[in-house]
Chains A and B, each alone.
Chain A
Amino acid sequence: MLFLLLTAAAIVWVRNLFAVVILSGVYSLLMAGTFTILDAVDVAFTEAAVGAGISTVLLLATLALVGQEDHGQHRRALGPIAIVALAGAMLIYAVPDMPRFGSPEAPIHVHVAPRYIEETPNAIGIPNVVTAVLADYRSFDTLGEVTVIFTAGIGVLLLLAGKRRKRK
């Protein structure tokens, strides 16, 4: 977990964009490890494949096009720091009101989830509850989400793949 923080802080400080991209890949991989510890194997799997794999490749492909150096001025303005500190302080102030970490009585665990877990083996007949919820109970969500991917793909193709107009 602390490595996560370190990597994220490094992303802020490092100026070379290539290093930033590689660090974001490292960050995603660490995040995937954390997800595995927190029992979310499916999510960890996806995060490792997507975050550390595909997005790094895409970022690198973009870097090949736009160059590597971040030579913008650091504005060092107090505004952003103040906003971030304020928002962070408010959120941390809210933390003690959250249910205790790992507590089975937290509101999130008592409402819909038990039904999914209990019904899945009988009603759907597959052991992986995550897949069952994803593709069956909540298949409308997934349909919408596949449509988002579809739209993103079409959007990228429209932005980049068209015939180049000749510029002077």
Chain B
Amino acid sequence: MSALGNFNYVIAITLAMIGFYVLIERGNLIKKLVGLNVFQTSVFLLYISMGKIEGGTPPIHYDGVAPFSNPLPHVLILTAIVVAVATLSVGLALVIRIREAYGTIEEDEIRALDDQLGDAE
């Protein structure tokens, strides 16, 4: 029961691990950013799952429907999503600059180029 009852948490953790894996294993910077996105979204899922109450309704007051799901995680995640897109855009801007400076967005190649520069000097 406990494993099935906490199905959402397990899903959130699995997603987080998938995102984490993409983040540390793939060398492509864009793919890393997408992985980061997956990771963030899994955390959102965890929070929203915690806020859910059985038989609850969205927290908007109408003629005394109750109980409401917990509005607090909703607020936190609402802001987190918008911050996520802001960080994503800054990350993409950095990727574009890296591409312009190095001509590639693969981590290995960037590191190789750096080493070459170091040897030349």
Interface, chain A (partner B; CB < 8 A): 1, 4-5, 8-9, 11-12, 17, 20-21, 24, 27-28, 31, 34-35, 38-43, 46-47, 50-51, 54-55, 58-59, 61-63, 65-66, 70-75, 77, 80-81, 83-85, 87-88, 91-92, 95-96, 98, 100-104, 106, 108-109, 112-113, 116-117, 120-121, 127-130, 133-134, 138, 141-142, 145, 148-149, 151-153, 155-156, 159-160
| B97 and A88 within 8 A (CB) | no
A100 to B3, CA, bound (A): 10
Closest to A54 in B: B85
Interface contact tally, CB-CB below 8 A: 260
Q: Which of B16, B28, B45, B57 contacts A39 (CB under 8 A)?
A: B57
Q: Are A72 and B108 in contact (CB under 8 A)?
A: yes
Min distance, Cβ A55 to any Cβ of chain B, angstroms:
5
Identify A43's interface contact among B6, B78, B86, CB under 8 A: B78
Contact between A43 and B54, CB atoms less than 8 A apart: no
Q: Which residue of A lies closest to B14 (CB)?
A: A5
Instruction: Name the prevailing secondary structure of the A interface residues.
Output: helix
Report Cα–Cα, A98/B50, bound state, in Å.
9
Picked from A4, A35, A54, A138, the residue with its CB within 8 Å of the CB of B75 is: A138
Cβ–Cβ contact A91 & B13, under 8 A: yes
Tell me if B53 counts as interface (CB < 8 A to partner A): yes
| B104 CB to nearest A CB, Å | 9
For the complex formed, measure the closest distance between the CB of B26 and the CB atoms of chain A, giving whole angstroms: 7
Known: A39-B51, A59-B33, A133-B72. 6 other contacts (CB 8 A): A40-B58, A43-B44, A59-B34, A75-B25, A101-B7, A127-B60
- Chain B residue numbers with a CB within 8 Å of A117 are 59, 68, 71
A106: chain B residues within 8 A (beta carbon): 50
Q: When chains A and B are docked, how far (Å) is the Cα of A150 from the Cα of B53?
A: 35
A-B contact pairs, 26 of them (CB 8 A): A9-B18, A11-B31, A12-B26, A42-B74, A43-B81, A47-B44, A58-B85, A61-B92, A66-B95, A84-B24, A87-B17, A88-B17, A96-B2, A100-B2, A100-B6, A103-B53, A104-B53, A104-B54, A104-B67, A108-B70, A112-B72, A116-B71, A145-B79, A152-B86, A153-B86, A159-B90
